[in-house]
Chain A
Amino acid sequence: MSQRYLLALYNNFDEAEAVVKELRTADIKGFNAANDMVVKSPIEHPEVEEFIGNKPVYVQWFTLLGASLGGFLAFWLISGSQANFYAQMKGGKPIVPFPPNFVLTYEMFILGGVYITVLGFLILSGLPARRSPLYSAKVSEDQIGVLVKGDEGSVPKLREIFTKHKALEIQEEAGR
């Protein structure tokens, strides 16, 4: 059965919360709330996460990886070049002096952490992205959007729920 997308716009978070809660509990054939529903909002709103259900964030693993790699790489490159006697004459001083090398290691630890965190953010957020099937500029202004995907047969029921919760506008488009 072909898929359809529906986007309903709401005036405030309370209305969006009510509709999301109903969609999560409703038993609609061809629609799975956990995978087929997206809430779009103009601001970061931690309560959105509460009402759409707990979804883990993995950005911090990228941070750990980036910072560790950055620090390791810095120390390895610097001490590697210092240990190359043809490149650097040490004149009896320590071949790999730890305290001064720590400074650059620390800077690269941060640099790696920041770069890879942002890379993780892009990957996990699915950015850069093409526009999703339905998008309204009102979402970046002052309205909250609830985007759902479902089988053609589920559309009337989804529409009914959106309308019941006073959707300002409902847009519909065939799935890709």
Chain B
Amino acid sequence: MGKDIREDIAWAQINKDVLKSLESPRKAYWVILLVALLVFGVGVGCEVYQYNMGMGVANLDNPHVWGLYIASFIFWIGMSHSGTLLSAILHLMHADWRKPIYRFAEAMTTFSLLTAALFVAVHLGRVWQIYYALPYPNERWAWPNFQSPLLWDAMAVFTYLSSSMIFLYVGMIPDLAICRDNIHQGWRKKVYTILALGWEGTDRQWRNFRMTYLTVACFLIPLAVSVHSIVAGDFAMSQQPGWHVTSFPPYFVAGALYSGCAAIISLFVILRYVFRFEEYMTLPILKKIVRLTFAIAMVWTYLNCIEFASVWYSHDEAAKGVLIQKAIGPYAPFWWAMIFCGSVVPFAMMVKKWQTNIPIMFAVSLLLNLGMFLERWMIVSPTFSHGIYPWTFDHDQWPSMVQWGMVFGSFGWFTLLFLVFCKVFPSVSMYEVKEMVYHRSLQSKKEAAGEELAVKGAN
């Protein structure tokens, strides 16, 4: 396998290449942005229609009270996981290949969470009542239930969102100073000057920066795990068949990491092309992410098997009924598609030649995320269709076009936010790529000197 990055790239060149991405991306950028805007428009249209007509147009009913909205909420929360979590874990493990790709992955976390939060509001119908989820006293004595996983969820997502944004911002301060120093006029200059906070790269600043970044990374790892465990708690703490499973929290965390890694591959391919980052988002780095994704895919597959086995052998007839219904009932095509995309498609990542084949890996990553979306849908809807009470048996429900439109629109919203971010802020960390190049070239020099000494010794 080749080197993760060329060790002879000049530091000034790194600045130049990344700063160029803020000014002149390929035309594909504008095409994707326009498509994202249109897709987002569909979502907005659906929300306006639902707002005016009421929740009936979403085709939600009793017992199908959650539908695609909550499935999408879990999907986007899951998508957020790999960015900050992987960035923090790889940072603590000194895996320096993360450096060219972690910035956009962290941005992905922030925008995924913002997208997920939208679904909570959308699902409420009366969007202005979202404040009921927040723990503060109000004049009607209607306190939130502090024992409810739904309230924990609101708190956990808020904590994760704000901490991720802080982690993203703090890590970006030295790069914002580079932007401030190199962009000479306009609104951008003002924005960078304010956000860079007067950073000058002094020894005092770097010393405190290193400790802060490390500390926040340490906090984010348990936080990320807790967020998706709590989301799993929304389901596992209920008495519904198919949800009341002990392995749900780790299953959710693995699923979240899985979909996040797949999304990193998709965005890696897009950014590499659109911003001409071929020098930084290299094929050896892609190979490493692909291998990591495959490993997580196998963990997810294992946890799926464990869940099926514990349902099958637990003799809980209602839970068993839901499982059988998933496999042969009206949702069977989607459930089998989930199994295929989530557990079979990843084996394409084992083929060495394909690990660095960009079109194949892009297609695989999209299929993996399709599988992960179906997984969330298959968690939510089949249980409502075949619940524990006879009156809920075989109450099939197909999401309305309004629900699908909103899901579709959420992808536009996410893409829009993400692309605007990448155009305004450096999506490759300049100072960390410099560190990577510097340390690797030092290492190479040491190795070369060692070999020379060994040859001299042998002579």
Residues of A within 8 A of B (CB): 38-46, 48-49, 52, 55, 57, 59-60, 63, 77-78, 81-82, 86-88, 97, 100-101, 103-104, 106-108, 110-111, 113-115, 117-118, 120-122, 124-132, 135, 137, 139-142, 147
Q: Are B201's CB and A40's CB within 8 A?
A: yes
**Given the complex, which residues of A lie within 8 Å of B151, measured CB to CB?**
104
A57-B207, A140-B177 are known; give 9 further A-B pairs, CB within 8 A: A39-B202, A45-B435, A49-B203, A52-B203, A59-B208, A100-B147, A101-B146, A104-B152, A124-B204
CA distance A138 to B178 in the complex (A): 9
Size band of the B side of the interface? 35 or more
The answer to whether the Cβ of B131 comes within 8 Å of any Cβ in the partner chain is no
B58 shortest CB reach to chain A, Å: 30
Shortest Cβ distance from B164 into A: residue:
A114
Q: Are B12's CB and A114's CB within 8 A?
A: no
CA distance A86 to B151 in the complex (A): 21
The answer to whether the Cβ of B222 comes within 8 Å of any Cβ in the partner chain is yes
The answer to whether the Cβ of B431 comes within 8 Å of any Cβ in the partner chain is yes
Which residues of chain B from 214 to 234 have any CB-CB distance to chain A below 8 Å in the complex?
215-216, 219-220, 222-223, 226, 230
**Given the complex, which residues of A lie within 8 Å of B152, measured CB to CB?**
100, 103-104, 107
A78 shortest CB reach to chain B, Å: 5
Q: Are A44's CB and B166's CB within 8 A?
A: no
**Given the complex, which residues of A lie within 8 Å of B226, measured CB to CB?**
103, 106-107, 110
**Given the complex, which residues of B lie within 8 Å of A131, measured CB to CB?**
198, 200
Residues of B within 8 A of A (CB): 10-12, 15, 135, 137, 141, 143, 146-147, 151-152, 155-156, 159, 162-163, 166-167, 170, 174, 177-178, 181-182, 197-212, 215-216, 219-220, 222-223, 226, 230, 431-432, 434-435, 438
Interchain Cβ contacts under 8 Å between A and B, 17 examples = A44-B206, A44-B431, A44-B435, A59-B211, A87-B141, A88-B143, A114-B162, A114-B220, A115-B162, A125-B205, A126-B205, A128-B197, A129-B197, A129-B200, A137-B181, A139-B200, A140-B174
Q: Are B208's CB and A124's CB within 8 A?
A: yes
Q: Are A113's CB and B219's CB within 8 A?
A: yes
Q: Are A132's CB and B223's CB within 8 A?
A: no
Q: Are B159's CB and A107's CB within 8 A?
A: yes
A12 shortest CB reach to chain B, Å: 10
Q: Are A115's CB and B202's CB within 8 A?
A: no
CA distance A114 to B202 in the complex (A): 23
**Given the complex, which residues of B lie within 8 Å of A106, measured CB to CB?**
226
**Given the complex, which residues of A lie within 8 Å of B211, measured CB to CB?**
57, 59-60, 121
Q: Are B146's CB and A78's CB within 8 A?
A: yes
A138 shortest CB reach to chain B, Å: 9
B434 shortest CB reach to chain A, Å: 5
CA distance A129 to B208 in the complex (A): 15
- Name the one of A82, A128, A129 contacting B146, with C-beta atoms under 8 angstroms: A82
Shortest Cβ distance from A121 into B: residue:
B212
CA distance A77 to B146 in the complex (A): 11
